[in-house]
Amino acid sequence: MPRDHSIKSVLIIGSGPIIIGQACEFDYSGSQAARSLREEGIEVTLINSNPATIMTDPVTADNIYLRPLEKKYIIEILEKHQIDAVLPTMGGQTALNLAIDCEKAGIWKKYNTRLIGVDINAIETTEDRERFRLKMKELDVNVCEGNIATSFLQGKEIAQRIGFPLVIRPSYTLGGFGGGFVEKAEDFEKALTQGLHASPIHEVLIEQSILGWKEYELELLRDSNGNIIIICSIENFDPMGVHTGDSITVAPAMTLPDTVYQHMRDLAKKMMNGIGEFAGGCNVQFAVNPEDDSIVGIEINPRVSRSSALASKATGYPIAKVAAKLAIGYNLDELKNQITGNTSAFFEPAIDYTIVKIPRWNFEKFVGADHRLGLQMKAVGEVMGIGRNFQEALQKACQSLEIKRNGLGADGKEETDQKVILEKLEHPTGDRLFRIYDAFKLGISFSTIQKLTKIDKWFLTQIEELIELEKDIEQYTLDTIPKELMMLAKKKGYADRQIAHLLRCLESQVHEKRKDMGIQRVYKLVDTCAAEFEAQTPYYYSTFQEENESVASDRKKIIVLGSGPNRIGQGIEFDYSCVHGVLAAKEAGYETIMINCNPETVSTDFDIADKLYFEPVFWEHIYDIIQHEKPEGVIVQLGGQTALKLAEKLDRYGIKILGTKFEALDLAEDRGRFSTLLKENDIPYPEFGTITDAASALELSKTIGFPLLVRPSYVLGGQSMKIVINENELEEHVVEILKDMPGNQILLDHFLEGAIEAEADAICDGEEAYVIGIMQHIEPAGIHSGDSYAVLPPYNLGDFVMQQIEMYTKRLALALGTVGLINIQFVIKDDRVYVIEANPRASRTVPFICKAYQEPYVNYATQLMLGEKKLKDFTFNPVKKGYAIKVPVFSFEKFPNVNKELGPEMKSTGEAIYFIDDLMDDYFLKIFSERNLYLSK
């Protein structure tokens, strides 16, 4: 069936602020779907409350509504626009739940708007655990024995009948919230109460536990004719018992016999057809008994999911783009040149490489959190590695995590306490992968490791082989290592840094040695079809083989370094900046090259940059790409701390950093030198001093006086920042910092109690600076800016204070030689403004200001970095109407026992934007009353 031409206008519902369980993968899907629909001449209206996304940008949709995801705002849009259809499958669980609420309230019917891409019956069947179980039985799909409970008494009766161990799954929750395994009867009552409270309809499914079974996912697409294709099989490295969002996953499935795979395919199609006849995407999860290969259906999501983003990036098949076209009537065979630039959408991808996804956790932000992994997702982000084999992909994924590891081991950071290792093998935590490596290295038997982890033997054998290879390498020195052994190490994903550790030499020496041996990285195309057809998609990964498929052009080009995995302190807002940097450079006539390893993001869509290298944002990989492409320069100030920390090496190797020079970037990070710069430029700052050990900290505290703000250099999201009030606290905290960051220069400055905090963002061309926005925090100083409600423009600072902020912002931007973006943090006490920090890069607040004032500041800043324009070439015309409030969003419910008190270290996972017309707005006054603050007249 060709496109339904009665659909001229579509509403896309977004996923709201980033929370654990629902992250920037929906920015990717929503943005791709919007572009797909606009290609068809359809007017796209979009609602989402998240200001940090590309999805909520004018480049994405015709009409953007930065509004809370509530029924009243849906009605507001339907009153204003003639919306023919609504697409709720691109905004995760939040969008689906809102679509159901609107359906029940009769809103879609009243405004003659129809749902596309899914149907309500399918959503309700998959979300309601009992309906899902009954439907699967009707379809002859095996499910775990279980029943629904809507009361405590019912739950106890079901548990008594089925017996332990059990699993509890609340209905209509996200990321496994409220669920868990119960091994013993004495733990059941507490788990049942938690599950019932977690479910918005007070309902849980209690079923038999299949803990330790193998887990798989299939990604499907179906059109209106009933054609179904399976995009990708995904195997969980971790067995059942760990949420898929917290599990290492591998594509394609590695240990699945073809007979079982074919049966699983048939079941997946049966399940998708059984829940409804909608056209769009679907994710199906299965468990397989390792003893007899029997299959159980676990879950089905009739929408684009977290795994859809992974499958899309893993295969190069743009799932959200195609799903959007299927939703407006196209059939798969009618979509030509959608994939690889040549082939029809009606084919199943074939891949001749392996991908490994590893989640990224932020447990260090949640003191007292239970680090054990289970049914409730706890990861804040993820990375993906691509290699010709599992071991190479695994090492590259480990290099992408940014947890101070150089890969899987071979970096001197092994755990040697056998008791700790055995505990973590049996009870998975975020570092279990590394503990498996340590177990093999320590000589713990294969059978013990397999028995405790229940991880498939094939995966464990792959890790064991790496240990044996390392033993071989350690027998040699740099001068004696054979070329074949060096090549084997590189083919298995070892970084030069790891090989240097094994050979007891420097990373640079290994790099030179392998170059002399003729062992060079080559780049392969992700073409979706295993090179069966010619492909136009400029999407590459590196490996060590003969043929290089990435041809460097002679065009003038720039590289943008991405921001790596999402984590607290560095989220989707930096991907927003990277994407706009790429688009601005394209407009200026440059060939644009993106390097990033995050499968959830818009920046890793193959049609954003002219060339995408899906590689770790890790020195060795970046340096090899630079040597291959020979760009005019590299942009580091858009990718957050990830990109910024590579500036020193780029500078040392003589690679041009576009925009602000390395010296200024480093000076702003070095607490001591930065404070000296403030002094030299007559910019006020709290009394301070720098120390490198606990003894000098105690000595300095006598001069400055308590309370003190303790701040290490070169950190992200306020990591390890703390306010201390006495010598004991000071000594303990300094020792703790230096344990994790030996040699770090730590700043102690006098904490101004009761002060107001504010921040300013500016763009600068090195000669002039323009302040794009000043935001006042509602919380008092001492709460991290990322965790504070903030108001743009300030609500009660007064002209004198505002003039000081503007003057110091411009003075400091010029003193640092800023070319591009800069963010400066201030505290205000008794109408005197003090500078506490400067970040000469894109900040968390830049996308917020861009959305609030409707100005493309990242585009302007990129043009300044490229030297294409000066500040005077731009006409600034911000839309300043009322106030915009930045609303921090937390995911504390994932960590019920942690201290929720806010302080200098950031804990929020995302943010929303809320617009008010004046300061008497009820929402604004409510925030103040909740914090026992008052609004000054």
pLDDT band for position 175 (50/70/90)? low
Q: Per-residue confidence at 190, pLDDT binned at 50, 70, 90?
A: confident
Summarize the confidence of residues 588-611 as an average pLDDT.
95
Of 345-359, 516-530, 652-666, least confident by mean pLDDT is 516-530
pLDDT in tens, 457-503: 999 999 999 999 999 999 999 999 999 999 999 999 999 999 999 99
d(CA 83, CA 42): 11
The secondary structure element, H or E, covering residue 85 is: strand 85-87
Going from the C-alpha of 271 to that of each of 141, 305, 475, the distances in angstroms are: 8, 17, 54
- Angle among Cα 123, 222, 227 to the nearest 5 degrees reads 140
Query: Which class for 72: exposed (0-12), middle (13-18), buried (19 or more C-beta within 10 A)?
Result: exposed
**Closest Cα partner for 283 from 239, 320, 248?**
320
In angstroms, what CA-CA distances link 805 with 793, 822, 870? 13, 14, 23
pLDDT band of 219, cuts 50, 70, 90 = very high
Tell me the torsion sign for CA atoms 644, 650, 651, 657. negative
> Are the C-beta atoms of residues 745 and 713 closer than 8 Å to each other?
yes
The answer to whether 459 and 368 are in contact (CB under 8 A) is: no
- pLDDT tens per residue, range 344-402: 788 898 899 999 999 999 998 888 888 999 888 999 999 999 999 999 999 999 999 99
Higher pLDDT, 770 or 526: 770
CA–CA gap between residue 133 and residue 313 (Å, rounded): 31
Please identify which residue in the block is written with the tokens 């009870």. Answer: 427
Query: Does pLDDT of 138 surpass 90?
Result: yes
CA atoms of 430 and 673, how far apart (whole Å): 36
| Rounded Cα distance, 44 and 327, in Å | 14
- Tell me the mean pLDDT in the region 253-274: 96
Q: Cβ–Cβ contacts within 10 Å for residue 595, how many?
A: 29
Residue 348: CB atoms within 10 A of its CB come to 15
Q: Edge-to-edge strands of the sheet including 166-170?
A: 146-149, 204-208, 166-170, 180-182
Region of poorest pLDDT, from 29-43, 739-753, 879-893 = 739-753
Do 707 and 724 touch, CB atoms closer than 8 A?
yes
Q: Which residue carries 């498929």 as its tokens?
A: 549
Contact between 230 and 253 under an 8 Å Cβ cutoff? The reply is no
Question: pLDDT at position 698, please?
Answer: 85
Q: Look at residue 761 and give its three-state secondary structure.
A: strand
